[in-house]
């Protein structure tokens, strides 16, 4: 496991051209299985989910993932707290990771997302984000995502529903 993570991290080191390899957590899960979600978040290189680079996945069970992310400058809004778009991105990504923890080959396609903002995630704080599968079907997968601060206070909650396209 440790060796695997080390290898994966190596694969993410900047290559000669200054770009990173575009093999994110979705491709890794399909190739290496659910445990590959553990450790540093595997972004698709310079694409959108690189905004979550620095996030760490600390627990993966069937239908459940748990990550931690520090509210650094790159995820802040104009007030120095986590940007709502970042919270929504966490709902997107953690929901997908939770589905991958059921079947690492089925990331699904987004149908619906929602977010409720109870309290700001303050700059510098370490936020825990959990993704849970609430229903795993043949055609649809349902997930719930929660953000809490170090004291356990609920900051935001969301849902992410994805479709598993069927062969016609």
Which residues here bind a second copy, judged by CB under 8 A? 22, 24, 26-27, 44, 46-49, 51, 73-78, 82-86, 88-93, 109-119, 134-135, 138-140, 142, 144, 154, 157, 159-161, 163, 165-166, 168
> Shortest Cβ distance from residue 10 to a second copy (Å)?
20
> Shortest Cβ distance from residue 6 to a second copy (Å)?
23
> Shortest Cβ distance from residue 74 to a second copy (Å)?
7
Would you say 6 or 47 has its CB closer to a second copy?
A: 47
> Shortest Cβ distance from residue 166 to a second copy (Å)?
5
d(CA 147, CA 149): 7
Would you say 3 or 80 has its CB closer to a second copy?
A: 80
Q: Taking the alpha carbons of 68, 72, 75, 79 in that order, is the dihedral positive or negative?
A: positive
């Amino acid at each position: 496991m440790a060796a695997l993570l080390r290898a994966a991290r190596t694969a993410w080191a900047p290559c000669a051209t200054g770009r990173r390899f575009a093999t994110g957590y979705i491709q890794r899960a399909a190739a290496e299985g659910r445990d590959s979600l553990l450790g540093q978040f595997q972004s698709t290189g310079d694409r959108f989910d690189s905004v979550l680079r620095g996030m760490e996945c600390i627990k993966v069970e069937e239908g459940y993932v748990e990550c931690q992310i520090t509210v650094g400058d790159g995820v802040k809004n104009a007030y120095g707290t986590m940007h709502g778009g970042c919270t929504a991105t966490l709902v997107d990504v953690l929901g997908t990771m939770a589905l991958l923890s059921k079947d690492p080959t089925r990331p699904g396609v987004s149908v619906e997302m929602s977010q409720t903002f109870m309290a700001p995630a303050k700059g510098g704080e370490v936020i825990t984000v959990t993704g849970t599968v609430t229903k795993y079907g043949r055609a649809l997968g349902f997930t719930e995502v929660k953000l809490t601060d170090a004291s356990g206070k609920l900051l935001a909650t969301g849902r992410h529903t994805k479709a598993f396209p069927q062969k016609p």
